[in-house]
Amino acid sequence: MDVRGIGMTSQRTRDRLVRRLAERGIDDPQVLDVMGRVPRHIFVDEALAHRAYEDSALPVGHGQTISQPFIVALMTQLLMQKHPRRVLEVGTGTGYQTAVLAELVDSVFSVERIEALLVRARERLSVLGATNVRLRLGDGYAGWRNEAPFDGILVTAAPREIPTALTDQLAVGGRMVVPVGSSGTQELKIIDRTPDGLVSETIEYVRFVPLLKGVQPMEGG
Ligand code: SAH
């Protein structure tokens, strides 16, 4: 994964990020390892690349953001507790979270509603050689019916309420990680499908961009 000249400096700043994630309570060794390996700087504009290993969200255009590394690590850790093999991600964005998941599970299916973001995410993921990822332009409210069920579903934009199309696509024994609520602050929830039905728990308060309806194709496309 040595792209765009990752040198010692970049590895040192990534190691520092991993230490910070551990201090904040991320304790799954495989999640910490992956956070230390996936080059976040290739998922942001070159002008922001020097801030890529700060623990903060960054703007990525189209009114969207790349999530804060701590939140990516936390959501990934919560999902991995169920050892999923097939995972649906709603909200590809830059593809950074997708790349993290691709290192940990067999197959990642990711849906994005803004075509321009999807095109760039596809390029970046192919540079990294992530071959177990499928991306699709679509409205993630509907999930990815043809590929369901999934052992894990990770939603990286906030719906006001949990979309039933998504819980319907969750396998028994599977877990969905999703921020739920109106703009401003949301509750990060885990929703487990048990043999007896859905069980949900709130983990903490978070801030995500809203999950929006419909798709935004590229102009002239
Ligand atoms: N996981 C991303 C974070 C992206 S921010 C990353 O690591 O970069 C949330 C993303 O969700 C945005 O790209 C936004 O366009 C997308 N999104 C919002 N509503 C959506 C919907 N209904 N279906 C699919 N994607 C959606």
Q: Is 8 a residue whose pLDDT tops 90?
A: no
Q: Tokens representing 195?
A: 């043999």
Q: Which domain holds residue 62?
A: 57-206
pLDDT in the model for residue 2: 46
Q: Report pLDDT digits (tens) over 184-219.
A: 899 999 999 999 999 999 999 999 999 999 999 998
pLDDT in the model for residue 7: 58
> In this structure, is residue 152 part of a structural domain?
yes
DSSP letter (8 states) at residue 180: E
How far, in Å, from the CA of 21 to the mean position of ligand 1? 23
Residues paired with 179 in a beta bridge: 188
User: In this structure, how many other beta carbons lie within 10 angstroms of the beta carbon of residue 27?
Assistant: 10
Q: What CATH number did the domain enclosing 190 receive?
A: 3.40.50.150
> In this structure, is residue 215 part of a structural domain?
no
- 160: nearest Cα among 212, 123, 202, 200: 212
How far, in Å, from the CA of 124 to the mean position of ligand 1? 16
Pocket lined around ligand 1, Cβ cut-off 6 Å = 64-67, 90-91, 93-94, 96-97, 111-114, 117, 139-141, 156-157, 209, 211-212
> In this structure, is residue 20 part of a structural domain?
no
Average pLDDT over residues 94-118: 98
- 144: nearest Cα among 158, 163, 127, 161: 163
Average pLDDT over residues 67-76: 98
> In this structure, is residue 220 part of a structural domain?
no
If you count DSSP H runs as helices and E runs as strands, how many of each does the chain have, helices first?
Answer: 6, 9
> In this structure, is residue 128 part of a structural domain?
yes
Shortest-distance atom of ligand 1 to CA 65: 5
> In this structure, is residue 171 part of a structural domain?
yes
Q: Is 3 a residue whose pLDDT tops 70?
A: no
> In this structure, is residue 21 part of a structural domain?
no
Q: Is 129 a residue whose pLDDT tops 70?
A: yes
Tally of domains in the chain: 1
Pick from 44, 66, 90 the residue to mutate for probing ligand 1's pocket: most ligand atoms within 8 Å of its CB.
Answer: 90
DSSP letter (8 states) at residue 208: -
How far, in Å, from the CA of 97 to the mean position of ligand 1? 11
> In this structure, is residue 49 part of a structural domain?
no
Q: Tokens representing 101?
A: 């998941």
